[in-house]
Structure 1
Amino acid sequence: MLIYLIRRLLLAVLTLLVMSVLSFWILQIPPGDAVTSFVKELQVRNLPLSVEREAQLRKSFGLDQPVYIQYSKWFMRIVRGDPGRQYMARAAQEWERPVLDIWGERIWATVALMGFTILFTWTLAIPIGIYSAVRKHSVGDYAFTFLGFTGLAVPDFLLGLVLLYAAFAYFDQSVGGLFSTDFVEASWSWARIWDLIKHLWIPAIVLGTSGTASLIRIMRNNLLDELGKPYVVTARAKGMSPWKLILKYPVRVACNPLISTIGYLLPYLVGGSVIVSMVLSLPTLGPVLLLAINKQDINVGMFIMMSLGVLTVIGTLISDILLLVIDPRIKFSAR
């Protein structure tokens, strides 16, 4: 187990290194740079910038150097724990803002949303998938199948708008954002935490609906495959109670593909929630990443993308360890 973890950590470092090179190169593909975006925005606002000042800004941020030199400097800053400063072209006063401050303002909201969404997805998907497999071709199975395909077909942002309207029209609650007006600037307390929970249920449902629908189908199909295997038939013939028979081994084995989804589920909840976060006014990392890519802000964009890479690596490692715990047939080899 120790050797396996060491190998996985080394592989994770190599994966993140390759990802950093590719991400940096991809962000450099569009013509221009962050200064170009800033100049264009100033021109739209009738605030032209002199050529000398433009060159000075480009030189001060190191954007006049070759790409490989820019990458090496960025990499050395990351090794030292300094991701640099923001130079997004939105307002001049934002140019010197530390990336860690921007990331820190939104990471906790992102983590809270991820946790609630995963809880919502798994809490519904596993029991419904078990029911659909055990009651195959029943009215309930057909009903959940219909709801599942509907959940996959409805766009997330449209579902978010519908839920926002329903909450306001029928419950007289404004659930946009993560906090009510009274708690936006308040210090942390049980009242503020409860207000956060009241605002998290809509984005959790919106982001988790499509994932829940797909996981229900996966759980149902896998459990149906397991229920037809010889060891289940033998246990049933020996008189084992139906629910004990189902829960002891078939369900555990059928959960394997669900656990394997943790690796991509964590980064998806950040990168895949951009439109939902914008519609629901959620202060998560997704909209910041989109803005950084549009403005070619290398420091902000790279740090968030590397955060997604770390989430992917951590999620994959967690899923592998959980598979070892849940499925006794799986053994890790040091080879």
Structure 2
Amino acid sequence: MIGFILRRFVLMFFTLVVMSMLSFTVIQLPPGDLITKYIQDLETGDGSFGLSAGGAWAGGTEATIAQAEYLRAYYGMDQPYYIRYLKWISGFPKLEFGHSFLKRGTSSGQSVKVTEIIQDRLWMTMILTGVTILFTFLVSFPIGIYSAVRHNSIGDYTTTFIGFIGISVPDFLLAVVLMFIFFAYLNQPVGGLFSGEMEYKPWSFAKVLDLLQHLIIPVIVLGTSGTAGLIRVLRNNLLDELQKPYVVTAHGKGLSYWRVIMKYPVRVAVNPMISGIGSLLPSLIGGSVIVSVILNLPTIGPLLLQAVQRQDTYTGGFLILLLGLLTVIGVLISDIMLVVVDPRIRMWDTD
């Protein structure tokens, strides 16, 4: 078991190194760079993009080639790719991920550290993702078992029909419908993760309750498709297991019906659900961009979109790497859980 985990950690390290190279490269693939976008904003008079070199050109002055070259030298963008990459990656052990040029609601126009611009959004994203995963498994597990055990019943047909709807309906459409229902009929708060009077207050029991109220719509929207998919996976796998001879043998030994179901077929049928954790984490974070915009959620999805549009190398590269890291962590967690749940994997690892 320990050897299995150590091998996974070594593989995880080399995977992250490759991912860091790819993420740093991908964000620079579009033509032009951050300075190109800045020069375009100067020419069009767009002040939404704050970038300055010690206050030298913070406003709408005439853009020139000399200014662009100065800014590239000032921010180190004229250096070779590998030098910029090594400088960026060398700051990771110190939790320094470079500087972001996305404005952070200030008028200074100066760059800020990536950690400063993402820290609040990252915490809110992790809270939302954690609650959504909990919702997904708590709902899909009992419904999937019930649907398989009561195969071809009215309850099975009902859950199957609802599951198909959950998979088919786009997240953004479900978000709009739920916002209307909660606002018009239930008089519940919609949009954001906090009420206006609670957003900037220190954490308290009242603020936690306010957060939980605002989490209802995002969790349902983000968790519906994943829940419906996991229900189908668990139902189909459990149906296959229930038809195998060892289940009939266990019943023949006099064991209770539900003890047989939970002890043997379910333990095997949940393996695909556990394996799905690796893809569930990044899909919830990176795939919620449109939903986050509609619901006005302070998550990292819209920030990643903005960084890619602005070609903010360090912010975009780190967020892409973060999605890869979550995938690797999810796969590691699922591998460990599979070893714990399924003894056959432990036997193969020993061999």
Paired letter, 1:151 = G
Partner of 1:83: 97
Aligned partner of 2:309 among 290, 294, 301:
294
Partner SS state of residue 183, structure 1:
coil
Partner SS state of residue 32, structure 1:
coil
2: distance between equivalents of 1:115 and 1:145?
26
Change beyond 3 A, Cα 1:289–1:94: farther
Paired letter, 2:196 = T
Shift of 1:329: 2.2
Aligned length: 335
1: distance between equivalents of 2:108 and 2:311?
17
1: distance between equivalents of 2:190 and 2:103?
30
Paired letter, 2:7 = R
Q: Equivalences for 1:245-264 in 2 at 5 Å?
A: 245-264=260-279
Change beyond 3 A, Cα 1:94–1:156: farther
Partner of 1:9: 9
Deviates more, 1:256-265 or 1:79-88: 79-88
Q: Equivalences for 1:1-335 in 2 at 5 Å?
A: 1-45=1-45, 47=60, 48-88=62-102, 93-331=108-346, 333=349
Conserved 8 A contact 2:293-2:302: yes
Change beyond 3 A, Cα 1:249–1:267: same
2: distance between equivalents of 1:92 and 1:257?
50
Using the size of structure 1 for normalisation, the TM-score is: 0.95
Shift of 1:94: 4.2
Conserved 8 A contact 1:89-1:295: no
2: distance between equivalents of 1:299 and 1:179?
29
1: distance between equivalents of 2:10 and 2:109?
37
Deviates more, 1:269-278 or 1:83-92: 83-92
Change beyond 3 A, Cα 1:334–1:326: closer
Conserved 8 A contact 2:76-2:84: yes
Paired letter, 1:317 = L
Residue segments in structure 2 that go unaligned for 5+ positions in a row: 47-59
Partner SS state of residue 93, structure 1:
coil
Paired letter, 2:160 = T
Shift of 1:149: 0.9
1:210-231: per-residue Cα shift (whole Å, max 9, x none)? 0011101000000001101111
Paired letter, 1:61 = Y
Partner SS state of residue 333, structure 1:
helix
Paired letter, 2:322 = S
Shift of 1:92: 7.2
Conserved 8 A contact 1:88-1:296: no
Conserved 8 A contact 2:4-2:349: yes
2: distance between equivalents of 1:51 and 1:18?
35
Shift of 1:113: 0.5
Shift of 1:135: 1.0
Paired letter, 1:286 = G
Conserved 8 A contact 1:277-1:283: yes
1:268-292: per-residue Cα shift (whole Å, max 9, x none)? 1111111111110000111111111
Shift of 1:174: 2.7
Using the size of structure 2 for normalisation, the TM-score is: 0.91
The percent of aligned pairs where both chains have the same amino acid is 53
Shift of 1:80: 4.1
Partner SS state of residue 283, structure 1:
coil
CA RMSD, aligned part only?
1.7
Shift of 1:62: 1.5
Shift of 1:25: 1.6
2: distance between equivalents of 1:123 and 1:94?
46
2: distance between equivalents of 1:238 and 1:141?
28
Conserved 8 A contact 1:178-1:196: yes
Conserved 8 A contact 2:102-2:111: no
Partner SS state of residue 40, structure 1:
helix
Partner of 2:56: none
1:108-131: per-residue Cα shift (whole Å, max 9, x none)? 111110111111111111111111
